[in-house]
Amino acid sequence: MNNVVFSVGKVVGNTYHAAGTCTMLNKENLLVTAAHVVNGSDDNLYINRNTHFHGDYQDTTKKKLDLLPVKIEAIDPLRDVCLLSLDDKIAKGCSIFRAGNTDNINTGDAVTVFGFPHSNLGRIVLTQQSCEVGAKILLSSKKVKSKHLVLNIQARPGQSGAPVIRKSDRSLIAILIGAYVPTIERGIDLGGIDPQTLHQTTHAVSAEYIERML
């Protein structure tokens, strides 16, 4: 998994600021993340190669990161999805996940999420979490409806863009967007956390929209 799912962020003043999670796609050197992670710009945008693995252990004592620059290839602002590309002269990669969508999954089915929760605090640890599909919903952006899943899990900063994998066939069915908070206005801020996001539901957009961007 460490060759497929990566932390993505910006380098500012020689310091890497993790912003989210990205996943290698079946197309060579293409990755996908949530569009809000890159904030519309690929200036100083990098992924961190997971080179600190020793067997099943991630060595958190190693402070030096292995960063690779990435560029924005396409953005779907209505679904909050972004495609990134690696320079094929630097690295080559291809996903182990099959492309899928949310149509053939049911409420209550088990899924797996891979990402970097709390990486905004410097905790860059590739983490696997299991949960169930709580609901299948349609969300609208500028009157365009899109398919989403509500997951029974609490997402934290750093997981935006994380892949949602169906356990039964290891297919990429959705991209995690963030806490499901339909409220338009942001609530109060406590230590950088919006209390509205402190609940056990997260929404993810169907991976079918990725295919339309390729």
CATH topology of domain 98-211: Thrombin, subunit H (2.40.10)
The token pair that represents 180 in the structure block = 């499901």
Q: Full-prediction pTM beyond 0.85?
A: yes
CA distance 96 to 157: 25
pLDDT given for residue 6 in this prediction: 96
- CA of residue 6 relative to chain centroid, distance: 9
Q: Can you give the pLDDT at residue 67?
A: 95
Inter-residue contact 73 to 30 (CB < 8 Å):
yes
pLDDT of residue 190: 47
Closest residue by Cα to residue 93 from 102, 84, 101: 84
pLDDT at 27: 82
Both tokens assigned to 190: 């406590």
pLDDT (tens, 9 = 90+) of the chain, 214 residues, equals 888 999 999 999 989 999 999 999 988 789 999 999 999 999 999 999 999 999 899 999 988 899 999 999 999 999 999 999 998 766 666 777 888 999 999 999 999 999 999 998 889 999 999 999 999 999 998 999 999 999 999 888 899 999 999 988 889 999 999 887 665 555 555 455 555 555 468 999 999 999 899 8
Q: Judge whether 5-86 and 98-211 match in fold.
A: yes
The span from the CA of 138 to the CA of 140, in Å, is: 7
pLDDT of residue 95: 78
Task: Tell me which CATH code domain 5-86 carries.
Answer: 2.40.10.10
Angle at 50 between CA 45 and CA 51, to 5 degrees: 120
Q: Which of 181, 34, 202 is nearest to 134 (CA)?
A: 202
Tell me how long the chain is. Answer: 214
Ordered by start, the domain boundaries in the chain are: 5-86, 98-211
> In angstroms, rounded to a whole number, what is the distance separating the alpha carbons of residues 142 and 148?
16
Note the pLDDT of residue 79: 96
**Structural tokens at position 175:** 């991209």
